Structure 1
């Protein structure tokens, strides 16, 4: 039976596409924090997919949430960082690192098409193909670099094929769905929305919705919702005398501690500090769009 595990391969042969490492793990430590331009193991590409929980990717000065169903593609080195943040459940991921000019070329194609974060259903050919690769190593004990190279290249062709299909998805109908979702989150940010509830409102598969939203807005739906909640909280802090806890509740944050943590991540101040501090530019509202 397949278990959480990781496998690495080291070759001097750089003439072919090679598997550098592959694994399945649960992450629950703040020590999981990788700055891509600082890593000693340069010269490879990464695909990491979220099975459950959530991580964070910082890419080109953007902070992108990585919830279930999302995966990121990176080239090492690059100006990026990915890490775990405290949450109720671990960040469970499936990942693969590859070496070779062909891997780098294909990453360029897909990232140009979809950006650094892609969305795939866990039952999709891409993710099922990644499980198959892991079983090839973990259960079938295949370690020959040529056999693995063939399997990896087959998986990358699936990546390219599904990326090309994803590029054709933003039709007028899907654009209208994105606008409907954005309107829902702008107007009803205080409600306990989830990916499932938003997708149900739109009558669309949640993974398909996430993929469309990410492609259209370059952020995830829940990150967009969080932006709207923080905007509303900032306005209430500056223009009302409501208690901090009540403001958090009115803006959709399930607990005062979570409200404080998210607010500090955005403003580098607690809600109380922001309310009391004489800011150089005392805006009544700040927008993150």
Structure 2
């Protein structure tokens, strides 16, 4: 199924329940032009993620690295890693996404498998993301298993849960067996940088309704304004203030869908200084006006 807009908390942690308590994993098919922003915005979650591009070219940003993948290629994203995905050229670029709770790999809490083969790899340096290419034999095996998990999850025949667990264990076994050769491209500052970005995003998520200055944002992570600008743009691929505007647009979309507030009221509520600027930013990002978006997506009375 298509994943709806990602719900995140004040720490940019995704709050979506993937699957159920009894079977904590889910499979999605994400067509990016069906997302309001046209891409999947920055977020993180405790689940590990496997993605396989099925149409178009896509850019995945994980922590401070960018990976451009074409149809047939995939990526593993580790637990707790900030990531974003967007189309490179084709707006309706599409990918299969598997979000898997870590406990599905452990069999039971405290098991030898958890202690030896799961926990040590969740925070392993150089293991935030691994690209998967069907031209590399061991990676092709993983991609084939991702497709099979998708088929089983979609068809839901008798025993599909058991079959999926077996496949996921095999995928994880294949992946961690290659971790030594994946350590070559590492960044010793990655954990520090990750925490800085999460702190900044958390602050913006909490204070988006207020006027924010670069000085106060830089101060919360104890760096200069100049370094804050450079560091943020290098990592998140946009300026701090573009990110704030995108955050406000996201919040306004929730209000357009769920309330009968006027466009002007929503603009003020989410922190835009003027209604005209809000409409301009909204149209630039979503390719329609707030009023048009409301007509297309909700059955509320049209308010001026």
TM norm structure 1? 0.42
Structure-2-length-normalised TM-score: 0.41
